[in-house]
Chain A
């Protein structure tokens, strides 16, 4: 039963999250490097160092710190950043929508252009176009995202100077295009391939031939049946990729100076800002797992057998 499946998966979430928290905690504490040193700056005295360390509870034994931490998390208290002293939750709230904007735009681009390219490539009339588009999509999957971003910046921002090379710009479109394009490339390529494969598969399906035989116009055949069935694997890709966008558009955000969550986490890791690392990783893990859950569930729902039974009338 679908409901049982969902509940079972949600229950499984708890030990997973627990594992995530513990691993993150341990990882950060085995670290060489001391966040307090980053906080005190160039010239400091030993006494201040010790006092700050004590304030932050960093001089307590590891197990006590761990228990404290679990207790705080249970109360939804993610603490304050060691470095900026801002509440972690507040920073996540400010930065996450930017990552979301980027992820969402990239996903739209990927879907729109991916399906378009895949559809064109599947069109029987010009096989050379299909092959070259598929080569293009192979490159799209293989190209390193940071290199692609640099190339796009070089072309559009430096040589042509028509787009800004980086920044957020309050979320305006000019600043969004290049990062979203860069991020979407690999997904776009995969969706194109899968769409084309889906079309080619479906083209042979019995009911399409029947529909054609019935005299339905090419457009009706294409529009209703082929698209719907070719879309199934696309939805799966959208789900999985979107999850990975949200949780790690780190490279894209770094290249384009996009002040989102991914970049923030990387900087926190490099500066050993423990509360930020722990809070953000937890947040992203929950998000990631949740998105995967949605994908699993919807995949079960859209299972072709169920669909065909309902669609064939």
Chain B
């Protein structure tokens, strides 16, 4: 074959291949966002990771929701009554429709909740409805008889609880409690996770595997319609790439990677920031003889200069944690500083506890680049007081397994709020009933703390409830089952062409209804 023909053919093929995918871009005005990981499913019953939860919340509506400022507002339920003893919730539904046109009725709500706790469905998020009377019986043994969920009429749902639960409304606002309709669930079967049908302001219009998701306005949404026509969510795992895309103008809102913070701060651009409802810590395996001595735990807390790590490794994007409850949820006084940076004091405590020459330990983390830098700094500080810490990095599920089976001495982890309530930071992490998979991975168990948390759950009066939770937090801080690190601050860059955007307090609190270009 002649050379010229070869070259021409080659160039033509490349050109053809290149144009094959052209013209697929969304039309304005669309909000352009970036996701770090691809959602795994958009089925509320199975959405467990951040991306999935976020998008599921945009597509499905709940009985009640949180607004960007962290207040409970009506969503599908225009109003609700709570009985005097706190065990009966009656929701009055507003008129709503699903994206397929079907009107939403109480039957849909009942169906959704029954599905969530259905043992056949095996939803890992069924604990959202655990306070409901009879729910545990259904989940454990298939006993549907005593379930306290019923539709009084087409637009009223009554839910009876086992016991008063102060944070029940928060539970109902979670992505897992997004309302679905029986018809579409059975029609789409296993593919519902890829083709959901909800009654939220947005609906899924396209999902290119690994590439991006496109949401468009739900034409049947009964509430105030979003100003924008659509949202495009591109999946970009690399922070550097996300920033570059923002700079070029391809993204509208972006979380600023920590490594870039200094640069953007000095660029004179306005950065929005919000203290996340999230706590970062190092959990100490309380079942290890080494860590059963409170002096050792306190020594570890004193050995690390958290402020400097925040300033240098996090570039200032965080606040030292004194206690467990993030500043955004705090209504009571912050506990007094118990563990200032004090390497000498740490050494003394260790010597008292019987480790004058320090000891060896393993510090586990899951694979992530920033965590690596943090742990290396901590390793340095621990070495300075004689503790030789080896960093063990594992893939997420292997890490989880090791931590939950008590195979790890200490582990670097964070805890994200499911809903903006301090109970979410105390009960799952420190109540002895939640040991292992429930969230309490240190094995911490204290009768006083347990009873305080349980009592707070039953409490009807907000003031007393906060007091009880604050007392629990004080005890926990005093007992130091963790090395308390920080509450991260999230910084976001917003494109100047955007108006009306506010950073939400809880991750699914922003539905982009009022955002305009």
Contacts and interface: CB of A to CB of B under 8 A. Distances in A.
Question: Do A and B come into direct contact in the complex, CB within 8 Å?
Answer: yes
Interface of A: 31-49, 51-52, 55, 80, 83-86, 91, 94-95, 101, 104-105, 108-109, 111-112, 153, 157-158, 161, 164-173, 176, 223, 227, 255, 257, 259-260, 263-264, 270-272
Nearest to A256: B241
Nearest to B126: A48
Given A165-B241, A171-B20, A112 B234 contact: no
Given A165-B240, A171-B17, A259-B210, A42 B439 contact: yes
26 contacts: A33-B394, A33-B401, A37-B397, A38-B397, A41-B48, A48-B126, A49-B437, A51-B119, A85-B40, A91-B209, A101-B17, A112-B10, A157-B248, A164-B248, A164-B250, A168-B210, A170-B208, A171-B21, A173-B15, A173-B19, A223-B2, A259-B208, A259-B211, A270-B395, A271-B395, A271-B397
Interface of B: 2-3, 7, 10-11, 13-15, 17-25, 40-41, 46, 48-49, 119, 122-127, 139-140, 190-191, 193-194, 208-211, 234-238, 240-241, 244-245, 247-248, 250, 367, 394-398, 400-401, 416, 418, 428, 434, 436-439
A51 B122 contact: yes
A48 B122 contact: yes
A45 B248 contact: no
A98 B434 CA distance: 45
Nearest to A90: B209
B199 to A, nearest CB: 23
Nearest to B190: A85
Nearest to B139: A47
Contacts of B49: 41
B21 A167 contact: no
Contacts of A31: 398
A111 to B, nearest CB: 7
A102 to B, nearest CB: 10
Given A111-B10, A164-B245, 8 more contacts: A33-B394, A43-B428, A85-B40, A94-B208, A108-B14, A157-B244, A166-B236, A167-B245
A223 B5 CA distance: 12
Given A37-B400, A165-B240, A167-B236, A172 B18 contact: yes
A29 to B, nearest CB: 14
Contact of B41 (A84, A91, A95, A173): A84
Contact of A84 (B18, B119, B139, B193): B193
A152 to B, nearest CB: 13
Contacts of B397: 33-38, 271-272
A49 B124 CA distance: 8
Nearest to B416: A42
A33 B356 CA distance: 37
Contact of B436 (A40, A46, A101, A270): A46
Contact of B124 (A39, A109, A168): A39
Contacts of A158: 244
Contacts of B437: 40, 43-46, 49
B248 A257 contact: no
B438 A84 contact: no
A272 B238 contact: no
Given A33-B401, A171-B18, A41 B125 contact: yes
Contacts of A44: 124, 437-438
A276 B25 CA distance: 29
A157 B246 CA distance: 12
B243 to A, nearest CB: 9
B439 A257 contact: no
A161 B22 contact: no
B14 A40 contact: no
A161 B194 CA distance: 35
Contacts of B240: 153, 165
A195 B336 CA distance: 75
Output the residue of A153, A157, A257 with the most chain B CB within 10 A: A257
Contacts of A168: 21, 208, 210-211
Contacts of B13: 104, 108
Nearest to B210: A259
Contacts of B434: 43
A4 to B, nearest CB: 29
A68 to B, nearest CB: 19
Contacts of A173: 15, 18-19, 22
B396 A170 contact: no
B130 to A, nearest CB: 9
Contact of A45 (B244, B418, B438): B438
Contact of A34 (B127, B398, B428): B398
Contacts of B122: 48, 51-52, 55
A170 B22 CA distance: 6
Contacts of A34: 397-398, 400-401
A255 B240 CA distance: 10
A109 B10 CA distance: 9
Given A47-B139, A170-B21, A171-B17, A32 B398 contact: yes
Contacts of A48: 122-124, 126
Nearest to A91: B209
A266 B222 CA distance: 43
Closest 7 CB pairs of A and B: A171-B21, A41-B48, A259-B210, A33-B398, A170-B24, A173-B18, A170-B21
Contact of A172 (B21, B247, B367, B395): B21
Given A38-B397, A94-B209, A101-B17, A170 B25 contact: yes
A42 B245 contact: no
Nearest to A81: B40
B68 to A, nearest CB: 23
Nearest to B52: A41
Given A108-B10, A173-B18, A264-B210, A43 B438 contact: yes
A153 B238 CA distance: 12
B22 A172 contact: yes
Contacts of A164: 244-245, 248, 250
Contacts of A47: 139-140
B7 to A, nearest CB: 7
Nearest to A54: B122
A19 B213 CA distance: 38
A86 B13 CA distance: 32
A161 B209 contact: no
A172 to B, nearest CB: 5
A179 to B, nearest CB: 12
B236 A257 contact: yes
Contacts of B15: 173
A260 B13 CA distance: 20
B499 to A, nearest CB: 26
B263 to A, nearest CB: 12
Nearest to A32: B398
A260 B211 CA distance: 9
Contacts of A170: 21-25, 208, 211
